[in-house]
Amino acid sequence: MVFKVVTGSDHAGFKMKQEIIDYLKKRNIEVIDAGTYSEESVDYPDIAQKVAKKVLDLNCLGILVCGTGVGMSITANKFKGIRCALCYNEYATEYARKHNNANIIALGARTMNIIEAKKMLDVFIKTPFEGGRHERRLNKIKELGG
């Protein structure tokens, strides 16, 4: 079970992020929110990099929300040690943890509803990495510079 997560969104993901923060706090998960803090327009790379750096510093999980999740995931994956998965259902989320050891999940506020997002977050937070043969595969990603 995870007890600490870093969250971040741009303006498009702001409302969903706030709902996610409330949801996690009610479940006694410590949330470190890297912004944004309103619906005023911001550039998603500025937020994604803050979250990626914090996740690496604290060795915890992160949650990024933008319109589609695409821009956030592209940016976060520029950081060595970040494995950001743009997830679209519970199955993809489960295997992003089990097989890919994803440390950030990217969600699209314009492509899914909050009910789906919460179900995916439950899976993301409770599912451990399986290791074994998957570790070997992740090492191959590391060799590529990831």
Q: Say whether 11 is catalytic.
A: no
How many Å apart are CA 132 and CA 53, to the nearest integer? 27
How many Å apart are CA 106 and CA 68, to the nearest integer? 8
* Contact positions vs ligand RB5 (CB under 6 A): 10, 12, 44, 66-68, 70-71
CB of 13 to ligand RB5, least distance (A): 6
CB of 53 to ligand RB5, least distance (A): 19
How many Å apart are CA 4 and CA 113, to the nearest integer? 23
Among residues 53, 99, 119, 134, which one is catalytic?
Answer: 99
CB of 65 to ligand RB5, least distance (A): 8
Query: Across the beta sheet with 4-9, what order do the strands follow?
Result: 30-33, 4-9, 61-66, 104-108, 84-86
CB of 81 to ligand RB5, least distance (A): 22
Q: Are 31 and 9 in contact (CB under 8 A)?
A: no
Rounded to 10 degrees, the C-alpha dihedral 23/41/47/123 comes to 30
- The residues annotated with a catalytic role in the active site are 99
